[in-house]
């Protein structure tokens, strides 16, 4: 019973569920059992199944425990580590002790995430012992910049941040651009709501990103790099700082790396909260200490970027793929994926889905595999209505498109985009008009205001959606929305504006009947739009007669006495939802009880 | 003596307009917000106009121009939080604290802000209080969390 490693997921989600406490209790129990010399306890980055955290894995036994509480620590140590019995009540399911037996893991192919959830991200030794920095070493000692760019081109790697531009071509342009001073910038301004893969990568495997940047710098001839990371990710920032210091200490960054004459160092820049800074020219303006307003391209950053110098900008996940390309070789890399989209993609699953979390699959996997086989489908016996993919630039695909393979082209063809890989699952309680309104609220407030189509067009579209959701829509509004969408898409200055109409266009394309119900019948079929909603009712079985609903009700519709359950008089209810918010027992329901 | 520190740190960036955002972040870390006087001091040190400084302060959401409360609540209004009922959580917060987004309670205990996505969608609906993430919120849980922080003295205690 010796030589074991206990991995405790310490990503942001597991931390919030108490993982650090679990870690401390496990450490104490290991110590108390006299196993301190035989058992290594490792805090790791995100293991993936955030909904089931805190996650504990035991190696080499290959046993996965989920929803571990601090009180379980002693039992895990006593039963598993000392006695050698699996604690079955903490397994994912009765018949699944190993992650390979859990569908959530079995359908994945972890390549970029291979270290996340396995290594201690704050120890460079852990990264190096799994082959880390070997690709950089090869790039510096065995390959010319030309050969590196050729390898990335041959691998077919495409940008993982949104548009899917071939990474090797970007590298080629920057390599070919004249100039002695060049920059590499890692775009870690992960702003798409619903996307958290970059956060998880920076938290769980920061050295992979640094190694990717150094290889890129070697390829294009850069001496200096920047990571532009959102301020909203304190743990990622902290792990990145640690990793940068370690990489300098080991000589992977700095002057004359490995005695090859290669000088490269990386500076951290922390964002200040502006979604538009994910756009590359806006991001560069922000690094230079200015307002994050985009500028027209060309010139592209590859020719004139940061401080007017040739600049290569890649996203976190793209850069984390680079060491894999060199390690496995471009042919092996390109053997995964589809004809036009190579490799794997990390997706963040969230919304009304059972297994929320972070997953990685070969590009070309279908939405059905992603949402049902891995994600476990929609909980609470509800029905899948739509899959929102690609964030505010993406679209909502209906349930009958579940067999669409996820690659750049097929998603675009169906009105969504790959984007950064945020997948929000919507069940039949979601109102698609309200979802479209949500995204336009977002893009309207995040527009930098520089160009008119975005500054005026998006709020105009948003106002139409507000009118529709409040029951004041007109039949011609749908055509107006389509026309405005066309104008904004074709004339906005940057990606934010050009893609902002997508959520409206895709919901109009697949859910026009919902728009019509709001406009023609003055009904919100999902009961989300409060002004169109039915009266609230109270579930007598959940009601504890506390009286809070009656206390907040402005119209006297909620009434009752402490001895019985409360009810809401439909004729008096003004649909304000105050009782819905006030009820501590979730007894107040929108609409009639089903 | 935070005021002195701030000045030192501002001076560190003297003549470096590219460090404007970093400088303002340091001012805010020290003072909790960026006052008009700090904007002038930063402008003087970096050798740029106060107009440019103010332009940056007002462009980025994370800069505050008024002192925050003892505890800062950042409610996430990202997509996952939206579909899982963040509006209800916002209503609860506004109702309990008797303030709107962007305001601070009269007793100076809480400031309420919204953010676009905290990247912890698996815990939706979610909010951060200071540096702590609180997920799977219900109105009842929000009230519980508020009571805990109301009893604490400073953000880190």
Parts of chain A with a pLDDT under 70: 1-2, 591-594
- With respect to residue A548, please indicate whether it lies within any of the assigned structural domains: yes
A391 and A440 in one domain?
no
* pLDDT at residue number A526: 86
- With respect to residue A172, please indicate whether it lies within any of the assigned structural domains: yes
B76 and B51 in one domain?
no
Are B79 and A231 in contact (CB < 8 Å)?
no
A387 and A367 in one domain?
yes
B92 and B38 in one domain?
no
| Number of Cβ within a 10 Å radius of residue A303 | 18
Nearest C-alpha of chain A: how many angstroms from B12?
Answer: 15
All residues of chain A having their beta carbon less than 8 Å from the beta carbon of residue B143 are: 584
B147 and B80 in one domain?
yes
Are B133 and A12 in contact (CB < 8 Å)?
yes
**Residue A528 has which token pair?**
């989300």
Element (H, E) at A189: none
Residue A537 contacts residue A521 (beta carbons within 8 Å): no
126-155 in chain B: CB under 8 A from chain A = 131-135, 138-140, 143
| Number of Cβ within a 10 Å radius of residue B155 | 16
Are B133 and A426 in contact (CB < 8 Å)?
no
CA-based nearest residue in chain A for residue B128: A232
- With respect to residue B10, please indicate whether it lies within any of the assigned structural domains: yes
Selected for mutation to probe chain B from A18, A581, A583 (highest B CB count within 10 Å) is: A581
A244 and A132 in one domain?
yes
A195 and A57 in one domain?
no
Closest C-alpha to A69, from A18, A33, A29: A18
- With respect to residue A114, please indicate whether it lies within any of the assigned structural domains: no
A571 and A449 in one domain?
no
- With respect to residue A527, please indicate whether it lies within any of the assigned structural domains: no
What residues form DSSP beta bridges with A395?
A: A389
**Residue A344 has which token pair?**
């794997």
Nearest C-alpha of chain B: how many angstroms from A38?
Answer: 34
A286 and A374 in one domain?
no
- With respect to residue B77, please indicate whether it lies within any of the assigned structural domains: yes
- The three-point CA angle A502-B122-A273 to 5° equals 60
Q: Which residue, A302, A333, A364, sits at the end of a domain?
A: A333
B76 and B55 in one domain?
no
A252 and A229 in one domain?
yes
Out of B59, B95, B134, whose CB is closest to A292?
B59
Are A194 and B121 in contact (CB < 8 Å)?
yes
Q: A388 to each of A108, A246, A300, A516, B143, how far by Cα in Å? A: 20, 39, 30, 21, 31
Closest C-alpha to A146, from A186, A175, A177, A167: A175
- pLDDT for B14-34, tens place per residue? 889 999 999 999 999 999 999
Are B133 and A388 in contact (CB < 8 Å)?
no
d(CA A542, CA A520): 35
- The three-point CA angle B7-B12-B13 to 5° equals 105
Q: Which residue, A490, A520, A550, sits at the end of a domain?
A: A520
- pLDDT for B113-131, tens place per residue? 998 888 888 889 999 999 8
All residues of chain A having their beta carbon less than 8 Å from the beta carbon of residue B18 are: 287-289
Are B95 and A581 in contact (CB < 8 Å)?
yes
CA-based nearest residue in chain A for residue B64: A272
Range of the domain at A545: 534-590
**Percent of residues in chain B assigned helix, strand, coil, to nearest 5:** 50, 10, 35
Q: What total number of domains does chain B contain?
A: 2
B117 and B90 in one domain?
yes
d(CA A491, CA A412): 19
B107 and B78 in one domain?
yes
CA-based nearest residue in chain B for residue A191: B117
B40: left (phi over 0), alpha (psi -120 to 50) or beta: alpha
Q: What total number of domains does chain A contain?
A: 5
Are A348 and B120 in contact (CB < 8 Å)?
no
A326 and A353 in one domain?
no
Range of the domain at B29: 2-59
- With respect to residue B82, please indicate whether it lies within any of the assigned structural domains: yes
B96 and B48 in one domain?
no
Nearest C-alpha of chain B: how many angstroms from A301?
Answer: 18
Nearest C-alpha of chain B: how many angstroms from A282?
Answer: 12
- pLDDT for B35-56, tens place per residue? 999 999 999 999 999 999 999 9
Selected for mutation to probe chain A from B121, B132, B135 (highest A CB count within 10 Å) is: B121
Out of B24, B82, B131, whose CB is closest to A234?
B131
- With respect to residue A515, please indicate whether it lies within any of the assigned structural domains: yes
**Residue A66 has which token pair?**
């989920």
CATH number, domain with residue B129: 3.40.30.10
* pLDDT at residue number B154: 61
d(CA A230, CA A315): 13
Rg (CA), chain B: 17
B10 and B47 in one domain?
yes
A184 and A277 in one domain?
yes
- With respect to residue A118, please indicate whether it lies within any of the assigned structural domains: no
A248 and A179 in one domain?
yes
Nearest C-alpha of chain A: how many angstroms from B1?
Answer: 25
**Residue B156 has which token pair?**
């880190």
B102 and B40 in one domain?
no
* pLDDT at residue number A155: 98
- pLDDT for B46-104, tens place per residue? 999 999 999 999 999 999 999 999 999 999 999 999 988 898 899 999 999 999 999 99
- With respect to residue B156, please indicate whether it lies within any of the assigned structural domains: no
Are B59 and A356 in contact (CB < 8 Å)?
no
90-119 in chain B: CB under 8 A from chain A = 91-92, 95, 115-119
Q: A498 to each of A91, A189, A397, A494, how far by Cα in Å? A: 47, 19, 19, 6
CA-based nearest residue in chain A for residue B24: A272
CATH number, domain with residue A436: 1.20.1440.230
What is the β-pairing status of strands A344-351 and A422-427?
Answer: parallel
d(CA A160, CA A168): 13
Out of B78, B92, B118, whose CB is closest to A581?
B92
Q: What is the DSSP letter of A219?
A: H
- With respect to residue A71, please indicate whether it lies within any of the assigned structural domains: yes
- With respect to residue B65, please indicate whether it lies within any of the assigned structural domains: no
- With respect to residue A528, please indicate whether it lies within any of the assigned structural domains: no
A196 and A136 in one domain?
yes
Alpha helices in A119-177 (DSSP H): 124-129, 134-141, 145-155, 167-176
CATH number, domain with residue A373: 3.10.20.600
* pLDDT at residue number B1: 38
B53 and B85 in one domain?
no
CATH number, domain with residue A41: 3.40.30.10
B55 and B82 in one domain?
no
A273 and A136 in one domain?
yes
All residues of chain A having their beta carbon less than 8 Å from the beta carbon of residue B138 are: 586
Evaluate if residue B5 carries a pLDDT over 60: no
| Number of Cβ within a 10 Å radius of residue A450 | 18
ipTM: 0.90
CATH number, domain with residue A307: 3.40.50.11540
CA-based nearest residue in chain B for residue A292: B59
> Global pTM?
0.91
């Amino acid at each position: 019973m010796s030589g074991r490693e206990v991995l405790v997921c310490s990503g942001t989600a597991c931390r919030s569920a108490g993982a650090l406490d679990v870690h401390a209790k496990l450490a104490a129990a290991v110590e108390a059992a006299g196993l301190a010399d035989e058992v290594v306890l490792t805090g790791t980055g995100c293991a993936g199944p955030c909904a089931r955290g805190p996650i504990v894995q035991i190696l080499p036994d290959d046993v996965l425990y989920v929803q571990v509480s601090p009180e379980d620590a002693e039992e895990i140590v006593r039963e598993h580590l000392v006695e050698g019995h699996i604690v079955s009540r903490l397994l994912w399911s009765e018949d699944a002790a190993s992650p390979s037996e859990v569908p959530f893991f079995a359908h994945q192919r972890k390549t970029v995430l291979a270290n996340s959830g396995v290594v201690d991200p704050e120890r460079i030794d852990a990264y190096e012992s799994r082959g880390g920095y070997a690709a950089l070493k090869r790039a510096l000692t065995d390959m010319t910049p030309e050969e590196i760019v050729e390898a990335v081109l041959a691998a077919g790697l495409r940008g993982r941040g949104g548009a899917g531009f071939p990474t090797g071509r970007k590298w080629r342009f920057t390599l070919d651009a004249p100039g002695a001073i060049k920059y590499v910038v890692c775009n870690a301004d992960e702003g798409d709501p619903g996307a958290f893969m970059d956060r998880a990568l920076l938290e769980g495997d920061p050295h992979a990103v640094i190694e990717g940047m150094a290889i890129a710098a070697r390829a294009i001839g850069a001496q200096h790099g920047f990571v532009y990371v959102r301020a909203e990710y304190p743990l990622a920032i902290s792990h990145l700082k640690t990793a940068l210091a370690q990489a300098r200490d080991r000589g992977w960054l700095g002057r004359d790396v490995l005695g090859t004459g290669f000088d490269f160092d990386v500076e951290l820049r922390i964002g200040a909260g502006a979604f538009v800074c994910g756009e590359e020219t806006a991001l560069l303006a922000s690094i230079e200490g200015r307002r994050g307003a985009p500028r027209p391209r060309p010139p592209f950053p590859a020719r004139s970027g940061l401080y007017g110098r040739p600049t290569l900008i890649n996203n976190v996940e793209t850069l984390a793929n680079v060491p894999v390309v060199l390690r496995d070789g471009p042919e092996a890399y390109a053997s995964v994926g589809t004809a036009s989209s190579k490799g794997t993609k990390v997706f963040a699953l969230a919304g009304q889905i059972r297994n929320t979390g972070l997953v990685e699959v070969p590009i070309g996997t279908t939405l059905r595999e992603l949402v049902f086989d891995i994600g476990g489908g929609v909980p609470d016996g509800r029905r899948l209505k739509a899959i929102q993919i690609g964030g505010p630039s993406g679209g909502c695909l209906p349930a009958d498109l579940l067999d669409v393979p996820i690659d750049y082209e097929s998603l675009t063809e169906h009105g969504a985009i790959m984007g950064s890989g945020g997948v929000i699952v919507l069940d039949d309680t979601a109102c698609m008009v309200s979802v479209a309104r949500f995204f336009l609220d977002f893009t309207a407030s995040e527009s930098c205001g520089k160009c008119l189509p975005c500054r005026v067009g998006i709020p105009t579209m948003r106002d139409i959606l507000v009118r529709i959701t409040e029951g004041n829509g007109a039949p011609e509004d749908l055509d107006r929305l389509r026309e405005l969408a066309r104008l904004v898409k074709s004339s906005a200055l940057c990606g934010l504006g050009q893609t902002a109409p997508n959520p409206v266009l895709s919901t109009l394309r697949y859910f026009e009947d919902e728009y019509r119900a709001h406009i023609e019948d003055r009904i919100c079929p999902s009961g989300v739009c409060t002004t169109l909603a039915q009266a609230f009712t109270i579930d007598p079985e959940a009601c504890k007669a506390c009286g809070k609903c009656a206390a907040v009700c402005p119209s006297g519709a909620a009434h009752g006495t402490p001895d019985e359950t409360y009810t809401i008089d439909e004729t008096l209810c003004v649909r304000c939802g105050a009782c819905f918010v006030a009820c501590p027992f979730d007894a107040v329901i929108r609409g009639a009880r089903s | 003596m935070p005021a002195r520190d701030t000045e030192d740190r501002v001076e560190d960036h003297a003549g470096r307009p590219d460090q404007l955002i970093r400088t303002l972040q340091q001012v805010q870390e020290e003072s909790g917000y960026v006052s008009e006087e700090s904007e002038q001091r930063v402008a003087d040190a970096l050798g740029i106009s106060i107009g440019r400084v103010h332009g940056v302060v007002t462009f980025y959401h994370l800069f505050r121009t008024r002192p925050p409360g003892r505890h800062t609540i950042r409610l996430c209004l990202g997509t996952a939080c939206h579909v899982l009922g963040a509006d209800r959580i916002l209503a609860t917060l506004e109702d309990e604290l008797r303030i709107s987004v962007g305001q601070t309670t009269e007793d100076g205990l809480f400031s309420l802000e919204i953010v676009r996505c905290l990247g912890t969608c698996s815990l939706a609906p979610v909010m951060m209080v200071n540096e702590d993430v609180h997920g799977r919120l219900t109105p009842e849980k929000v009230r519980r969390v508020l009571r805990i922080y109301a009893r604490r003295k400073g953000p880190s205690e």
